[in-house]
Structure 1
């Protein structure tokens, strides 16, 4: 079994995969589409972060590929539709780096409120500027959290512990934590928030989500933070509102176009502005978070490849079978049509195979069933399933 791991994924992932029998190749940076096409012919498992894009063309050039691990929160860098069509399971780490992102945002809120970026720059320039002008405590001020998922809710809890008032807006029906207040519209949140922090995902519908109209609706001298996705914000509009003085400061960790490799040149319309913190997409880049992500995603990949578990897959039907003890297991990914399970068990019965455990789940157009048997399943039964018009793939363990 061959695995290719890109983009400086934590060594914990390599340890897990090698411990499960994979031959692991490691590359420090991202790979282009052409490089992936030329490399993935015999690769069974691909590990990436946010700078590697897996397109339909890449997937069509990877006949041996069984699973992709996104060692990050987002999966929009993978063509999930094409992966699902081919039965390639995609996994991510939706929870592992939430604390690291929250700590960065809290640090930025305090730094911007105290205008620390310009203070430290002037000290480095040899200027002693001891003044309280424009400097504020965060206690008692209102933070508006846009996107109240895993990161947004944890930010809510930490901000409230600092004495901040919390309001949030989310299109999904999410329960409020602590004393946080749900706002009916984004406009309602922007009217009252002293700090606006974005935590939305990278789905195509969110492109340009926050632009000139939203910045104009923010309170005068409010602060703005984006640690979600670069494509959701119009940074030209943000620059205009900072230069006009309407926005008092901003912190940005994500950009529409980001350099592919360490040390590459970076440019942004936000460079050189006072009280603006620019960081190179490091919200989840702590040793603790990266180690947790490495272990978490690698375990999910290994359990899928070696035991058939699709638990927490973002695209295949979720099945969490028991840990595979000495025995015999078959995984059958199929089109989600009536009668497939009955046909499956009829095949086993005809072949005289003794089924002792079975787990089925469906998602959209696919169904997935894991079957355990007391003895090796007959080759005739396995081959008959492969010939089924509804079969995507059959695997045995």
Structure 2
């Protein structure tokens, strides 16, 4: 029976997907686990689901030889060594769409709150002050929102902002089709010089590290607002702090940070703590009941489709093969080293054991190739052992019809 282990309080919708399909050996953990406990929990697991706090590096993956696929029940996959997983024949799936609306709504809400100086006004009322002045408070209508990274979330933010009467401009390293009346900016500098609010929706990595530093923040309009709900490494926090202290920026909202607390009771360490014109949230952009339910279902369904048919459509680290109905008696899933003659070797091995190939799908990515073969004939443990033992094989499994 397929053993499935889910960490970090993944929404029950994920377990419902598995159990409805007859995969009932599902173990859940309410949080991430320390290394030794994690290793023990992964013993015998074929499918693993994690969120952002569970880290699956090469060492952890090597200690889980039964692992067939990983589901990241979130957008990011930085917590998994994707290359190591690929080289072990393990596809990694995520949820790039399910929390889009939740993040977009939060970003627009923060923009409006900061334009109206609500965080500061709220704090002053709690401190016993009744400050009704309109100084520095503005409507969202007519303001320019600059979106850096016009992907799933960035484009949705733009759609919501337009509904609030804002002008939307965006900059992306790739050409993107504008939604509504949004307009592309040819350069980041041009966007920063025009935007009243700048919101970041870019991936992590070296290419985006500190893209908002002292220079780029200095290029923003005086009195502008900066919002980051993407990755903590894309903003130079010290440069942001200096711009807020000097009054160059009127406010900021951050949901992600370069270094984040590991537990509920660990405080965030940041020079932004205590600033009245800054909204700090604990990485909750996608944390709504609706998004978590959708994420649970989306990723679980991807894992289930892989187990039942071998499809890897949507995998972030693996050759992608879309769903196709089984054409033979059995389906063999073969991951091999991407070397000349690999397909010929595989076909010859199958022929030597009396298997007739009815249909094949092949894709390669980097050092590996992945082929789904529908065959007629008897596929027993002997055949699988021969395929697995060949030097070109990384991993070999079977899906019975």
TM over 0.5: yes
The separation in 2 between residues aligned to 1:387 and 1:58, in whole angstroms, is 23
Query: Are the equivalent residues in 2 in contact too, given 1:169–1:189 (CA < 8 A)?
Result: yes
2:114 aligns to what?
112
**Which deviations, in whole Å up to 9, do the C-alpha atoms of 1:134-153 show, x marking residues without a partner?**
11111111111111111111
Describe the SS at the equivalent of 1:58.
Answer: helix
Q: Which runs of 5+ in 2 are unaligned?
A: none
Query: Are the equivalent residues in 2 in contact too, given 1:33–1:55 (CA < 8 A)?
Result: no
Describe the SS at the equivalent of 1:249.
Answer: strand
Q: Which runs of 5+ in 1 are unaligned?
A: none
Distance 1:116 1:174, change over 3 A: same
Distance 1:18 1:378, change over 3 A: closer
The separation in 2 between residues aligned to 1:326 and 1:371, in whole angstroms, is 9
The separation in 1 between residues aligned to 2:323 and 2:385, in whole angstroms, is 23
Query: Are the equivalent residues in 2 in contact too, given 1:93–1:293 (CA < 8 A)?
Result: yes
1:223 aligns to what?
225
Query: Are the equivalent residues in 2 in contact too, given 1:138–1:164 (CA < 8 A)?
Result: yes
* 1:46 and 2:48 correspond: yes
RMSD: 1.9
The separation in 2 between residues aligned to 1:323 and 1:32, in whole angstroms, is 41
Task: Give the number of aligned pairs.
Answer: 397
Query: Are the equivalent residues in 1 in contact too, given 2:103–2:285 (CA < 8 A)?
Result: yes
Give the C-alpha shift of residue 381 in structure 1.
Answer: 4.2
Within a 5 Å distance, the mapping from 1:1-397 to structure 2 comes to 1-19=2-20, 20-323=22-325, 327-377=329-379, 381-397=383-399
The separation in 2 between residues aligned to 1:180 and 1:11, in whole angstroms, is 38
Give the C-alpha shift of residue 190 in structure 1.
Answer: 0.8
The separation in 2 between residues aligned to 1:164 and 1:237, in whole angstroms, is 27
Describe the SS at the equivalent of 2:43.
Answer: helix
The separation in 2 between residues aligned to 1:325 and 1:264, in whole angstroms, is 54
Distance 1:317 1:22, change over 3 A: farther
**Which deviations, in whole Å up to 9, do the C-alpha atoms of 1:175-210 show, x marking residues without a partner?**
222222222221111111110101111123322221
Give the C-alpha shift of residue 119 in structure 1.
Answer: 1.4
Query: Are the equivalent residues in 2 in contact too, given 1:3–1:25 (CA < 8 A)?
Result: yes
Structure 1 residue ranges, 4+ long, deviating more than 4 angstroms after superposition? 323-326, 378-381
Describe the SS at the equivalent of 1:285.
Answer: coil
Give the C-alpha shift of residue 368 in structure 1.
Answer: 1.0
Distance 1:125 1:324, change over 3 A: farther
Give the C-alpha shift of residue 127 in structure 1.
Answer: 2.0
The separation in 2 between residues aligned to 1:376 and 1:153, in whole angstroms, is 51
**Which deviations, in whole Å up to 9, do the C-alpha atoms of 1:146-182 show, x marking residues without a partner?**
1111111111222122221111111122222222222
Describe the SS at the equivalent of 1:42.
Answer: coil
